[in-house]
Each structure stands twice: as C-alpha cells, then as structure tokens.
Amino acid sequence: MTGGVVSRVAALRFFAALNPRQLDQLCEAGTPMSYQPGERIFAEGGDADRFWLIETGSVALDVRIPGRGDQVIETLGAGAVLGWSWLHPPYRWQFGASARERLETIAFDGAAVRNRCDADPAFGYAMLRLFTPVIVARLQATRLRLLDLYATSAQVGRP
C-alpha cells in the first residue's frame, strides 16, 4: 500500500522537497480517502488529528463569523494541502472544511507525522518548511476575506 501512496503523493509535487527516504516515511502515515460533495471534513474547533493532500476535487475552507454563519475564506484544489493545525498545539482546527465536489485525497495521521518529526529533526525541519507557507497563505486569505466582509462602501479605498 505504501508504494501506491508514494507514487500518488509524488505525482502532486507538494512534497517534492522531501528526499526519497523522507517521502517514504511520510507516506507510511498516509491513507487514501474520498468525500462526497457537501460532506463536512472537519469543523472549526475540532480535534486536528490529520491533514490531507488533495488529488482531485475541491474543498471550501470556512470560518464561523458571529451573526453571519460559516463564511468561505478559500477554495483549495488538486495538489493543495488541507490542514495545518495538526502541527502545532493545541491541535484544534482553526477553520472548517467541506468538499465542494467529489474529493479524492491522501489523509495523513497527524500524530504519526509529528512523532516522525520528533524522531528525525531533518524530517521535522523539512515538514516545517513545507507547511509554514501554507499557514501564512491561509491566514492571509482569512485576513483578506474578513476585510471584504466587514468593509463598507465608505471604507473602501481608505487606508
């Protein structure tokens, strides 16, 4: 099974910076998973116990806004990684996520990958270098979406 996961993960290039040994180590924690359109993958505040590499389909990331409900902040597609909250305590989802269309993924066990990071500092550093831009991009997308939601026509264009 791991060989099939390795080839599927390698085809999507997100983990291209990993050497072959590191890729094998990562893929030991990976399992193919599918989701149907509209299926909730995780909810904001829930246990962040895994992350996904999206093979096909798309996912809507959302954040709950009081008085406005769940607001989509970003849509992720093939080749993107879904989930970063598994990497840092308190291991709680900062966003929610739902499949927008049929979704094929490789899901990775967060605790197993964290344990590998602890046991192999080079692997841990490589994972941190891969996921830090993901965290920054998600927070930036959230910031822009919230600005969009709360801006009034009088505020548009003002510093």
Residue 155: pLDDT over 50: yes
Q: Quick one: average pLDDT of 55-66?
A: 93
Domain boundaries, the chain: 1-131
User: Distance (Å, rounded) from C-alpha 148 to C-alpha 92?
Assistant: 26
pTM, entire model: 0.86
pLDDT at 2: 63
pLDDT digits over 27-42, tens only? 999 999 999 999 999 9
Provide the token pair at 67: 């008085």
User: Distance (Å, rounded) from C-alpha 1 to C-alpha 47?
Assistant: 26
Q: C-alpha angle 45/88/30, rounded to 5°? A: 90
Question: Is 2.60.120.10 the CATH classification of the domain at 1-131?
Answer: yes
**Sequence-distant (≥ 6) Cβ neighbours of residue 27 within 8 angstroms:** 2, 5, 6, 9, 106
